């Protein structure tokens, strides 16, 4: 299932938190060789994790991490603005309607549908919170995965070569893309909505009230 | 919006928020902020009796809106919050008695250096009416919330200068082409970017300029001499 957790809520799911930060270390340090530092406990955490971001996490049936992404509003501090300004040609992206999506991570042996389920969750956020675009930082492999699940970002630019290549891109989400991604995720839109409402509550109006 | 732009002190914001409340024809609008030192400031249209009562009873500790928005950055319809505890239900009943309204929409904002603010619209109406209102006005309310916060930050006596609000080169280009009367498709062609990317540049420029729509943004960019047509 998809979990939506702010940083200060991660402690309520210790196993999920533990495996997420270890999987991030595995992906970004071990597999991609990015210049990220690991903590003593082996976690990959950077300067943006203490800012209480919103994590969208695919939780496997055994309670461990299957994949995740990290969201921050572009009106505050973001990695895109602080580290990839050159890709934006010296500019900063700032708007309450644009959120940053970074540390898109998939556990080793993650099911192919994991990435699609995460994108579908991104769509819920856009629709329910009035977000129009995500500005993301991701590795080259993710570009192929995004294309496969039918939700390709538009790439603004890249730095580095080979497996160290890092790209900045933009997403928006049309209704058709949403249907497509839901299919790839093997998750109905109703279930996706239910997961969202478990985290953020429901604003559904009871029929009896509106009648 | 113009009144908000002209505001030159915190006292002006009270008049602005009252005017906005009237424009939107709802019962209340409130803006409240706290910085990292614990300083507080608020303006809004709740009755003084309710504000006094709220402070006396230390409702800050049980108010589901505060509990649900603190340290968050997504907008919240009050329906989505947890009102299940007895304390919360009593609080809600009392708030309604004091005229706060049975409906609300709150937008938390994270400013620089631990500054935190909450912008709220509340009203007394049916669920269906409220759904219609928020659907129609959500975007504007989110913008207003951020503009209010930017304005309030300007009045901080020892504020740290904010990251530059300058337009990036591509944002400047986008604004310039629109000001020249190009439509979006033409601007996209000229800049060799996609429609999608153009929208992001416009969106970001609009926010930096404190503008409510694209036409307004273009006018502002021109009047500030940021673009040359």
Tell me the nearest-neighbour CA distance from A205 into chain B, angstroms.
7
Same domain, B39 and B140: yes
Same domain, B193 and B120: no
Q: What's the pLDDT tens digit per position in B164-206?
A: 467 888 899 999 999 999 999 999 999 888 888 899 899 999 9
Same domain, B180 and B104: no
Same domain, B205 and B124: no
Q: Do A202 and B126 touch (CB under 8 A)?
A: no
Same domain, B114 and B219: no
Same domain, B133 and B43: yes
> How far is CA A166 from its chain centroid?
16
Same domain, B211 and B120: no
Same domain, B121 and B13: yes
Q: Which domain holds residue B202?
A: 169-223
Q: Do A54 and B171 touch (CB under 8 A)?
A: no
Which residue of B lies nearest to A135 if distances are taken between CA atoms? B200
**CB-closest option in A52, A154, A209 to B197:** A154
3-class SS of residue A194: helix
Same domain, B211 and B112: no
From chain A, pick out residues whose CB is under 8 angstroms from the CB of B74: 54, 125, 128-129, 200
Domain presence at residue B228: no
Same domain, B150 and B53: yes
3-class SS of residue A85: coil
Reading chain A (211 residues) residue by residue, the pLDDT tens digits are: 999 999 999 999 999 999 999 999 999 999 988 889 999 999 999 999 999 999 999 999 999 999 999 999 999 899 999 988 888 776 788 899 999 999 999 999 898 899 999 999 999 999 999 999 999 998 888 888 888 888 888 888 888 888 788 899 988 888 888 889 999 999 999 999 999 999 999 877 655 444 3
CATH code, domain with B179 = 1.10.10.10
CATH topology of domain A2-210: Aminopeptidase (3.40.630)
Q: In the listed set B97, B126, B154, which residue is the last one of a domain according to the structure? A: B154
For residues A49 and A51, give the distance between their C-alpha atoms in angstroms, rounded to a whole number. Answer: 5
Query: How many structural domains does chain B have?
Result: 2
Model confidence at B161: pLDDT above 60: no
Domain presence at residue B92: yes
A135 touches chain B (CB under 8 A): yes
What pLDDT does A204 receive? Answer: 72
- Provide CB contacts within 8 A for B103, sequence distance 6+: B78, B79, B122, B123, B124, B125, B127, B130
Q: Do A96 and B142 touch (CB under 8 A)?
A: yes
Query: Where are the domains positioned within chain A?
Result: 2-210
Same domain, B133 and B45: yes
Domain presence at residue B116: yes
What pLDDT does A96 receive? Answer: 94
A209 touches chain B (CB under 8 A): yes
Same domain, B148 and B194: no
CA distances from A133 to A79, A97, A172, B204 (A): 16, 7, 5, 11
Q: Which of A167, A164, A26 is nearest to A83 (CA)?
A: A167
């Amino acid at each position: 299932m998809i979990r939506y957790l702010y940083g200060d809520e991660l402690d309520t799911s210790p196993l999920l938190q533990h495996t997420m930060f270890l999987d991030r270390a595995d992906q970004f340090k071990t597999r991609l060789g990015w210049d990220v530092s690991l903590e003593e406990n082996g976690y990959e955490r950077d300067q943006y994790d203490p800012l209480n971001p919103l994590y969208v996490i695919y939780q496997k049936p055994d309670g461990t991490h299957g994949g995740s992404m990290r969201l921050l509003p572009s009106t505050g501090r973001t990695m895109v603005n602080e580290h990839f300004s050159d890709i934006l040609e010296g500019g900063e992206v700032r708007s309450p309607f644009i959120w940053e999506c970074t540390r898109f991570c998939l556990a080793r042996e993650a099911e192919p549908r994991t990435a699609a389920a995460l994108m579908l969750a991104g769509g819920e956020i856009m629709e329910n919170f009035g977000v129009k675009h995500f500005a993301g930082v991701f590795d080259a492999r993710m570009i192929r995965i995004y294309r496969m699940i039918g939700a390709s970002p538009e790439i603004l630019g890249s730095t580095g070569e080979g497996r160290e290549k890092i790209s900045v891109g933009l997403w928006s989400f049309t209704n058709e893309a949403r249907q497509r991604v839901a299919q790839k995720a093997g998750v109905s839109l109703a279930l996706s909505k239910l997961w969202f409402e478990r985290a953020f509550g429901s604003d559904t109006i009871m029929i009896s009230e509106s009648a | 919006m113009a009144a908000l732009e002209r505001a030159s002190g915190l006292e002006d914001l009270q008049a602005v928020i009252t005017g906005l409340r009237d424009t939107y024809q709802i019962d209340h609008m409130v803006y409240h902020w706290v910085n990292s030192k614990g300083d507080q400031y608020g303006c809004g249209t709740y009755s003084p009796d309710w504000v006094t009562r709220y402070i006396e009873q230390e409702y800050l500790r049980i108010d589901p809106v505060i509990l649900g928005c603190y340290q968050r950055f997504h907008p919240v319809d009050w329906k989505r919050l947890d009102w299940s505890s007895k304390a919360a239900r009593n609080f809600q009943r009392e708030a309604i008695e004091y005229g706060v309204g049975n409906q609300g929409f709150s937008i938390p904002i994270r400013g620089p250096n631990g500054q935190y603010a909450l912008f709220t619209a509340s009203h007394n109406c049916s669920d269906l009416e409220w759904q219609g209102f928020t659907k129609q006005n959500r975007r504007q309310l989110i913008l207003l919330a951020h503009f209010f916060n930017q304005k309030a930050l300007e009045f901080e006596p020892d504020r740290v200068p904010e990251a530059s609000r300058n337009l990036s080169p591509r944002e400047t280009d986008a604004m310039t082409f629109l000001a020249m009367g190009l439509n979006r498709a033409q601007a996209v062609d000229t800049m060799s970017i996609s429609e999608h990317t153009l929208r992001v540049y416009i969106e970001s420029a609009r926010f930096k300029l404190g503008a409510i729509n694209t036409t307004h943004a273009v006018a502002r960019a021109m009047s500030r001499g940021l673009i040359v047509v």
